[in-house]
Structure 1
Amino acid sequence: MSTPRLGRVLGLAAAALAMVLFALLHVLVRRLSPVADTISDYALAPDGWIFDTAVLVLAAGSVCLLGPLLWRRQTAVPPATACYAGWCLGLVILTVFPRDPVGAPNTMTGEIHKWASVIALLGLPLGALLTARRRCGPGVRVVAGTATFCLVALVPFVSAYLTSSPLKAYLGLIERAVALGEVVLLLLLGTIRLGLRAATDPTTAGSTPGASQPVGEPIRRLVGPAPDHTGRAPGTEGSTYLRPVDHPAHAGDGVGADREPA
């Protein structure tokens, strides 16, 4: 099995395992509301280690799925690389710095967790849009559409997460919609990336199909080769496309000059 295919399999398996662990948390911890409480609140429960494990497994799977998009020089986009790094590192940081309990005073640990979560949730869809701009193919619209949905859904979530908002009572539900969309986006980037081919710059195209042709090539094909006045057989080397109409006279050919009488 090739290295990219192995990485894809490992990434998909890690993402699937993370989803199973998140679902298990919702079954084990009944005192939290999926509508009002965020997913990070599960880290404060007695079974919080499951949350940390799920997030770290998802981060590892993201490296496996997103890595091939960044290792190819012709398709790598530095801003997209930074966005994907923000997604992966943000997931790791939010497990190291847990969220403040609801109603407790704000702490530095809670602030780091809050902004790491925002950076992670913003990084993946922004990176996907930047990657889609450099690609062409049937999968681009699916990736761009999913990334756009995540960004649009992030607006009410961030407003309710960072500030007081009427949507605060639905914060958990909005976050779960965003998280689900981002996991789907991650899977799309990891599975259909082979269907996205790098767009070719016409100015750098070579002999590949659709590459730009030398100036005069269409005319040469239309009118055929230029007439040869040198006496060489057609198709031999030395004939050029454009020749001067007047040619210098050569001794004995009687062209271009008056010959002296014998």
Structure 2
Amino acid sequence: MSFEIKLPLFEGPFDLLLFFIERDELDIHDIPISTITNDFLSYLHELDQMNIEVASEFILVAATLMRIKAKVLLPRPVLNEEGEEIDPRDELVKHLLEYKKYKSVVQELAAMEEERMQQYERGNVMQELRALAQEQQVETELQHVDLYKLLKVYEKVWVRFTEEKKDNSHRVVQYPYTVEGQKGFIRQLLSKQPRDVSFVTIIEHNPNKIAVIFNFLAILELLQISEITIKIGEGYNNFWVYRTEDAEQA
């Protein structure tokens, strides 16, 4: 009778020994070494008759079994440090128990592998992006996106986010000007001038951009209440401001 032992991840002599033990319902801690050695050698003879090359690990285990069998048949007691006799089968039993433990783990891993194989694979990201772009007929850079480009974009966004997070305060600066205040400033200038004052002269007193805007707004309000009159010069590059009563006298 020949035996063919195949496991998903492990093939070898210990699989065969465990097969014999489970088949004959033997106690793994009290192996009938003569019986199991004969079964193991018979299996190797079957392989030889089928012209199948016997792996070196099978030959090694066969030699180990015959050595243990010889020790059992011709006992020369080996004692441990405590003076107790050492069973020559102990080392073999130890290896079988350890192998059986790993074999059970392999079965669990095989079940997990089978479960994972039932799940849909992620596939190739680049191919999926190109297929999606082609299906939607989009002519964008999405077709040429790769992981490196995505990481570079992420890096830039993260740096910008970090910089913005460092100082998210905004300072509100109150300008030292008001329309009413600049109206008083223009009235004061007109009172010092004999008749009129040019807008360029007003700017020269305070060339600050904000001050120029407030002065212009003040002039507009004074025009609205008819307190002043303006005269536009040649080329529209300048204008002159008069007090209304001075303009009427002129």
Query: Given the two structures, how large is their TM-score scaled by the length of structure 1?
Result: 0.22
Q: Which has the higher contact order (CA 8 A, sep 6+)?
A: 1
Larger radius of gyration: 2
